[in-house]
Homo-oligomer: A and B are copies of this chain.
Amino acid sequence: MDQSLIKQYLLASFPQFEARLIETLIDNAFLKEFNEGDLLMNTGQNMRFTMLVVEGLVKLYREGEDGSEFFMYYIHPGGACALSMICSTKQQTSEIKASAVDKTTVLAVPTTLMDELMKNYKTWYYFVLETYRSRFEELLVVIDHISFKAMDERLEFYLEKQHHDLNTRALMLTHSQIANDLNSSREVISRLLKKMEQQKKVILHRSYIEYLK
């Protein structure tokens, strides 16, 4: 049944939540599934639910005016989208998108419930603040990289991150995909990858990259 499934998910992914909070969430939230590639959140729409990721993987990226995109970070089970945690705000400026990388399950918590949760459950408000803080810091790291680092270093960091977040050395990525994520171009990425291969940091294959270091 759905209720007990929610409980299982919460216990597994959000072990820090207090028992009463879990009960409240079971009574008020519902599960939602997304397939690979589905959009969880689109630009500027008013959020009526806070989404807690309980299974799968979500990719957050920024969309430029011309359609080019820019990878920011992944959200793993146990995380939530910071932006989805605010009850009904304008959000006109920020063009941000979230899409499922794998088959993903999220727990949708109505934003109308936020006041009560914040007030009554310490573990909830810790979670909200911690979510904001960590996303904030990730953005700072992103800013660091694009403003202070050159492409080769950014590429290495990107691959390291992929390796770490996806927990595999076999990175299923084409050069164009990487170029998109880093807002660069395929040729540039190809050349840099070639260099990295010579430095024995990766081995290149068709449609995937073996991460060594």
Contacts and interface: CB of A to CB of B under 8 A. Distances in A.
A44 to B, nearest CB: 11
Contact of A146 (B129, B133, B147): B147
B86 A133 contact: yes
Contacts of A125: 118-119, 125
A1 interface: no
Interface string A45-78: 0000000000000000010110010101000000
Interface stretch (A21-29, A31-39, A88-96, A202-210): A88-96
A181 to B, nearest CB: 11
Integer count of this chain's copies in the complex? 2
A130 B93 CA distance: 15
Contacts of A137: 91, 93-94
A143 B136 CA distance: 12
Contacts of A142: 143
8 closest residue pairs by CB, A with B: A132-B132, A139-B139, A64-B148, A94-B140, A86-B133, A94-B137, A147-B183, A146-B147
30 contacts: A62-B140, A62-B143, A64-B144, A64-B147, A68-B148, A70-B147, A70-B148, A72-B143, A83-B136, A85-B129, A86-B129, A86-B133, A89-B133, A93-B140, A93-B141, A94-B137, A94-B141, A96-B140, A115-B122, A118-B125, A128-B129, A132-B136, A135-B136, A136-B136, A139-B140, A142-B143, A143-B146, A146-B147, A147-B183, A148-B183
